[in-house]
Chains A and B, each alone.
Chain A
Amino acid sequence: MMPTKSVAKGLFVALVLCLLAAAFFVGLLSYGELRALRAPQEDSGWAILQLGLEHERLRFAAATGESEKDVKLRGEIFLSRVKLVRDSPIFAEVRASALKEKLGQLFGIARETEALIDGLTPATRVQFQERLDADAGFIRQLTLDMSSLNRSLLADARKRRTMLLYNYFIVLELVVFSVLALAVFALRTNRKVISMSEDLQRQSATNHAILSSVDDAIVGIGAERRVLYSNPKAAELLGEWLRTGVLPSVAEAGHTALTAGIIALMDQQQPAASPSGLTGHSKVSSLFKGLKRVYDLKLYRPPQGATGLSDSSVVITITDITDAEEAAEKREVYDARIADVSRLMSYAVISGGIVHEISQPLAAIKNHLHTLKVATATEQARERRAAIVDSLAEEVDRAIQVVRNVRQLEVGDPEEAGVCALDEAIGHAIRLVSIGQKPPPDIKVISDGKGAVAAASLPLVSQVVVNLLNNALSASASSGRRGAEISVDAKGEEAEISVADFGSGVSPDVAARLFTPFTKSAHGGMGLGLAISRRIVDNVGGSISWRNRETGGAVFTIRIPLAHKEKS
């Protein structure tokens, strides 16, 4: 569109300039001629008459016996007339006309007459007279011919003058037209006019687009709640009051919830804030043909001065979003189902590991029972039996813990969190780890966080610490070292429990899968421990992290929220 517009504009200007140029040239061409015509014309007709007249007078003078002097004078006068015809510019056209030959004859006669006049004596007088008589008829006729020719030449001159005047009229009209055209053109290309018309175009295009949108119902409300315009969909939805042409100020009994929603939106609109003019938005459930539908109402107030509409007019769009709402509900249901499925998936994964986890304490229990049986049979010291029973109990606890922890993984709520003293938890964990280990593992407690109370139950905390300690001891052993270090740092809202090993640290490829269930590490051990530990710690609102130490080995740190110190 734009290139064509520019081309059209260019052509138009070019055309106007051509017209002006044409006018200029016509004016130029005509001017010279008009000037010539406007120059005063000596009346050549009168001179022609004089020619004939003077010849007659000469004849008369010669015939009536006037003195030679007078005859000569008359002759001179006649000759001067002939010379006029012969030499004067005013007779140029006549000389060049069809009378050229006859004029040649006249000039011949004049020459002879001149000679006779110059040599006039009484003796030659008669001859002179006769000569004059002979020429008289010719001269008379010639005079008449010249007269009529002159008349027609004058008429032609008059016509030419009229034509030139016409030319000038044309030139004037061309100039005026060109000036007008340029003025109109200038006005049209005036930015203001263009932008105004573009604004109007845009506005009407917008209006058209809005109104022709079929899916949404659109209503325009003007001053005094009068309906300015509405589209067919709006008539469908709002039929009962739309036909009256006025939006009701209060929702009455017969009105739908949709109408009530519109009224409410109208009442609560504020001055336009957004550039689109959106000043009101609400969702309304309403019955339509007996079905429950959900509508999204939007109220637009056009920005100030943007259109020719008055300030109080607004546009309301009603979009039927029932389907969208249903889809959203379904999605929520699907989301829940997907979560369940993923839990079930992880159960499946976990159940295999449970067997592994349980088998350890169960095996230990079996050993202890056997030892107890032996001890009881052989009446060994009561203390020894008691110690074995204690160990048994601890192993049972451990087995129970495994189950509990798995349940933690599936349920995932912290309702069994409870509280515990960290130093007790650490001690319990160390004991658990040391069961059946000969020699007992070398676990150094750097600090036990005396007095700190964690917002998590003892079994949970000790399970996690046991897991970390076991991993650390395995890591150290695989590097030919023994033992682990544990330190507790209770500060502020959290307690940090760090377990360090003397192994070779966590390699990068293992690091990525560290917390993934059943990722077997190179130095054996539970593939489940860290996954469960992370789950437990997350559930109580803490976190677990690790890093490789510069001095060798890795250190795993769990952070657990501290409970309010109720114990002294």
Chain B
Amino acid sequence: MAIVVLALLAVIARPSWSCTLPEPAGEVILTVDGQIGACNATGEARFDLAMLEELPRKTVKSENPWEEGVQSYEGVLLRDLMAFVQASGKAASFLALNDYRADIDFADFERYDVILAYKRNGEYMPVREKGPLFVVYPFAERPELKSELRYAQSVWQVARITVR
């Protein structure tokens, strides 16, 4: 009986067992949930700035309608991030601080160097500067990406990513 209960408990408590990610030390700026494998909380993977900065960095040049001229953004490639959280879905849904939501297919992560940027021109972005996290397409390097769709997918003030 105890074994059965223990087994049941094991099944119930399973999520806690596979959450191998370290806990964020600083302020949580990003939460990833949905169909992911890695986690550090129940069904979620929470990140602070330090954790994101540990992941492989990528710098892309982009220009967009909200800034004047070409800006240099530094962040983590979303395909790397998805791999890190062992995402098993087909698309990621990005939620911004003001409840704006946009979806991007994983295929686009593979095709393009889409990053989740935390620095613009070498400086961290406060919320009032559309930070702390900004989905950036390499518009300057790939001008063919400049379309209404991609602009709509360039979510700033990203708070949460849900994998579906």
Contact = CB atoms under 8 A, between A and B. Distances in A.
Contacts of B68: 87-89
Contacts of B126: 76
Contacts of B98: 50, 53-54, 57, 77
Interface stretch (B8-16, B37-45, B103-111, B144-152): B144-152
Contacts of A114: 128
B51 interface: no
A90 B128 contact: no
Chain B contact residues, majority secondary structure: loop
Chain A CB count within 10 A is highest, among B67, B97, B126, B127, for B127
A77 B147 contact: no
A195 to B, nearest CB: 56
Given A73-B97, A89-B65, A90-B65, A40 B147 contact: yes
B157 A40 contact: no
Contact of A73 (B127, B129, B146): B127
A41 B128 contact: no
A53 B100 CA distance: 12
B78 to A, nearest CB: 21
B147 A79 contact: no
Contacts, number: 51
A39 interface: yes
Interface residues of B, number: 18
B164 interface: no
Given A73-B97, A89-B65, A42 B151 contact: yes
A84 interface: yes
B66 A42 contact: yes
Contact of A88 (B67, B127, B157): B67
Nearest to B96: A77
A67 interface: no
Among A73, A79, A89, A114, the most chain B Cβ lie within 10 Å of the Cβ of A89
Grouping DSSP codes into helix (H, G, I), strand (E, B) and loop, the A interface class, with mixed when no group exceeds half, is helix
A80 interface: yes
B119 interface: no
B147 A80 contact: no
Interface string A18-58: 00000000000000000000011110000000100110010
Contacts of B147: 40
Nearest to B27: A69
B157 A77 contact: yes
Nearest to B151: A42
A202 interface: no
Interface string A74-101: 0011011001100111100000000000
B134 to A, nearest CB: 11
A84 B156 CA distance: 12
Interface string B15-29: 000000000000000
A41 B97 contact: no
Q: Which of B64, B66, B147, B151 has the most CB of A within 10 A?
A: B66
Given A41-B65, A73-B127, A77-B127, 14 more contacts: A39-B146, A40-B147, A53-B98, A54-B98, A73-B97, A79-B127, A80-B129, A80-B157, A87-B67, A88-B67, A88-B68, A90-B65, A90-B66, A114-B128
Interface of B: 64-68, 97-98, 126-130, 146-148, 151, 156-157
